[in-house]
């Protein structure tokens, strides 16, 4: 250290005390400004916490789930769903916009994955999804994941209907799921219908 540097350090100590040291190097160290806690940031943080919190997942534990046959057809439809809509779902006539493959998942992994999948499907306006769970034929506990999916899908308010898939989409090892429209999709449908009425008028 040069005599000039030594003099400067003594002057600094005289002003601020020996416990405070001047910064070394060129320029001041940058201290990052904390992220502003906007409503969007808080909402994302809450969603992330809930996603990692098993208590936020309302799907039943496997102990309360009745087993189905590996080759059984799964079917469920809520009151109010039009017969033609359900028929088209059963026949595989709707375009599949999202898929979830549960092969090699444990039951708990499948429970978490399905919970997040259905929620994301509705958020992104997915109307028809495909869940592949396998049949589990020949296993010690056959159709375990299939039984869970059959039970769990009924617990979602977002799920209007589901049915075993056609052969080209996995047959009895997969299930079509019809998801309720989100608010944005409903608004778009309303606007389309209003526009069609105006054109007819």
**CA–CA distance, 114 with 185 (Å, rounded to integer):** 22
**Residue 48, H or E segment:** helix 39-51
Tokens of 43: 């909402």
Tens-digit pLDDT profile for residues 10-34: 665 665 556 555 555 444 444 444 4
> What is the domain-level CATH number for residue 178?
3.30.1370.110
Return the pLDDT at 61.
75
Report yes or no on 152 lying in a domain.
Answer: yes
Per the structure, the count of domains in the chain is 1
Report yes or no on 47 lying in a domain.
Answer: no
Return the pLDDT at 193.
56
Report yes or no on 48 lying in a domain.
Answer: no
Report yes or no on 84 lying in a domain.
Answer: yes
Give the pLDDT mean for 114-134. Answer: 95
List, in order, residues 6 or more apart from 177 with CB less than 8 Å away: 118, 121, 128, 129, 130, 131, 153, 159, 161, 162
- Tokens 């208590």 — which residue? 55
Contact 134, 147 (CB under 8 A): no
Query: Does the pLDDT of residue 89 top 60, yes or no?
Result: yes
- Displacement of CA 158 from its chain's centroid (Å): 13
Tens-digit pLDDT profile for residues 127-172: 999 999 999 888 888 999 999 999 999 999 999 999 999 999 999 9
Report yes or no on 10 lying in a domain.
Answer: no
Report yes or no on 39 lying in a domain.
Answer: no
Residue 81 belongs to domain spanning: 70-187
Tokens of 88: 């088209």
Nearest alpha-carbon partner for 149 in 121, 120, 182, 109:
109
Report yes or no on 75 lying in a domain.
Answer: yes
**CA–CA distance, 45 with 197 (Å, rounded to integer):** 43
- pTM greater than the 0.85 cutoff: no
Report yes or no on 55 lying in a domain.
Answer: no
């Amino acid at each position: 250290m040069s005599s000039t540097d030594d003099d400067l350090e003594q002057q600094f100590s005289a002003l601020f005390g020996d416990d405070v040291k001047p910064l070394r190097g060129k320029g001041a160290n940058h201290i990052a400004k904390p992220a502003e806690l906007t409503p969007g940031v808080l909402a994302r943080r809450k969603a992330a916490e809930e996603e990692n919190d098993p208590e936020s997942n309302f799907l039943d534990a496997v102990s309360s789930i009745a087993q189905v046959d590996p080759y059984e057809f799964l079917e469920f439809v809520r009151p109010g769903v039009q017969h033609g809509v359900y028929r088209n779902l059963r026949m595989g006539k709707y375009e599949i916009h999202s898929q979830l493959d549960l092969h090699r998942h444990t039951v708990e992994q499948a429970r978490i994955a399905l919970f997040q999948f259905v929620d994301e499907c509705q958020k992104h306006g997915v109307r028809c999804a495909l869940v592949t769970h396998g049949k589990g034929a020949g296993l010690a506990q056959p159709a375990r994941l299939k039984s869970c999916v059959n039970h769990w899908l009924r617990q979602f308010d977002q799920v209007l209907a589901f049915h075993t898939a056609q052969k080209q989409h996995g047959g009895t090892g997969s299930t079509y799921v019809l998801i309720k429209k989100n608010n944005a999709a409903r608004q778009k449908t309303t606007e389309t219908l209003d526009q069609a009425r105006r054109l007819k008028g």
